[in-house]
Amino acid sequence: MSLDGNVFIERFETYCPQWLAEAGDPVGLHIGTLNKKLNRVLVTLDVRPEVVAEAIEKHVDLIIAKHPPIFRPVKRLDTDDLQTKMYADLLKHDIAVFAAHTNMDIIDNGLNDWFCELLGIQDTTYLTKTHTIAYKKLAVFVPVEDAVNMRKVLGQAGAGQQGDYTNTSYSLIGTGRFTPKTGANPTLGTVDKEETVQEAKIEVIFPETIETKVIQAMLEAHPYEEPAYDVYQIENMTKEFGLGRVGHLEKAVSLNDFVSTIKETFDLEGLRIVAEDESKLIQRVAICGGSGEKFFRDAIKKQADVYITGDVYYHTGHDMLTEGLPVIDPGHYIEQLCKPKLVELFNQWKKDYNWTIEFIESEVNTNPFKFR
């Protein structure tokens, strides 16, 4: 009644790869090991001492966190300090911590898309481009009886993802011929005798960033001593990724009404607004979860009527006023939306792959701010 830690993270990385994170962002495994069985996984926005205590109490094996717990180098492990003592507690109770930060903001069907879904922001594109990824195609020849397993292995390695579809491939049946030479150890056939076999040619595409992973998975699963395969550069296919989203509401509303919608949607006691005229009608909306103030001019370039982001700095607020862009700052903590959405996603994987594991949301409120 458990799941291998590496199997789970391999699936997670297919959805939310580390290479999508901004340069210098410390995503991935922070504490502990994945070389173990998982029975219970806790999803949290922040890893705080209270969250660690919750994980210990609930017998959690792995924490998936949006914010990396070790964002800056730790200078000393003084266990009299609560923040650093939690690292020791995690190790003592064999609780691993894995972080997905800006890669969670950038991915399709990630945090910024979830915000848009909640707020009714439609026909979205990214706010600011971060990556342009080229694609390649793998063509591999396998015995017909091994084709189903090969397609499965390639899909698990991340190949065959196109838009909203996974495990896409093309297969063609043909005849393979070969003659094993002296010293060969053929899976089929005998030395110095020509052999023919019904083979499937399987073609899959993949982003070039995972080429090594895909080829390695193919070679490990292939029954032949010397697999036949080709890798092609696809000249007419690239994919762009970016932070934030820009889209439009179904109909224009006043800034004041939209502020009320945001407060209600995220159950906020209050928020900050940078605007000269709160009665202004808005329809084109830009949003970037977390601290996205540095992208406000990208919102202007994308002709947004309003920009939603957190942690706006005082003097940047003046710049926003000068530029004439209304900004709504609902705070950083609206990113807690990652908890229910990730648990929902993980439970879908649990159903798809027949996993026996429990995924739970942290019940700890890690918002450091209160309103009076």
Residues 50 and 366: beta-carbon distance below 8 Å: yes
pLDDT for the residue numbered 161: 85
332 belongs to an annotated ligand binding site: yes
The total number of residues written for the chain in this structure = 372
pLDDT for the residue numbered 76: 86
Q: What distance in Å separates the CA atoms of residue 195 and residue 201, rounded to the nearest whole number? A: 17
Largest CA distance in the chain: 86
Residues 12 and 343: beta-carbon distance below 8 Å: no
**Residue 15 class from Cβ within 10 Å (0-12 exposed, 13-18 middle, 19+ buried)?**
buried
pLDDT for the residue numbered 279: 96
Q: What distance in Å separates the CA atoms of residue 139 and residue 325, rounded to the nearest whole number? A: 50
Residues in the chain predicted with pLDDT less than 50, given as ranges, are none
Domain 3-101+336-361 has CATH 3.40.1390.30: yes
Architecture of domain 106-130+243-332: 3-Layer(aba) Sandwich (3.40)
3-state class (DSSP) for residue 63: strand
pLDDT for the residue numbered 193: 85
Alpha helices per DSSP H over the chain: 5-15, 49-57, 82-92, 102-106, 111-119, 147-156, 211-221, 255-265, 296-301, 314-323, 338-353
First to last CA, the chain: 47
pLDDT for the residue numbered 354: 94
Q: What distance in Å separates the CA atoms of residue 222 and residue 200, rounded to the nearest whole number? A: 12
Domain ranges of the chain: 3-101+336-361, 106-130+243-332, 131-239
Q: What distance in Å separates the CA atoms of residue 71 and residue 28, rounded to the nearest whole number? A: 11
67 belongs to an annotated ligand binding site: yes
- Partners of residue 240 on adjacent β-strands: 132
User: Dihedral sign, CA of 159, 165, 166, 170?
Assistant: negative
3-state class (DSSP) for residue 60: coil
**Directed axis angle between helix 338-353 and helix 111-119, to 10°?**
110
Q: What distance in Å separates the CA atoms of residue 304 and residue 35, rounded to the nearest whole number? A: 46
Strands 358-361 and 40-44 come out as parallel
Q: What is the pLDDT of residues 184-193, one digit of tens each?
A: 777 777 877 8
pLDDT for the residue numbered 134: 95
Q: What pTM was computed for the model?
A: 0.86
pLDDT for the residue numbered 229: 97
Architecture of domain 131-239: 2-Layer Sandwich (3.30)
Are domains 3-101+336-361 and 106-130+243-332 of this chain identical in fold? yes
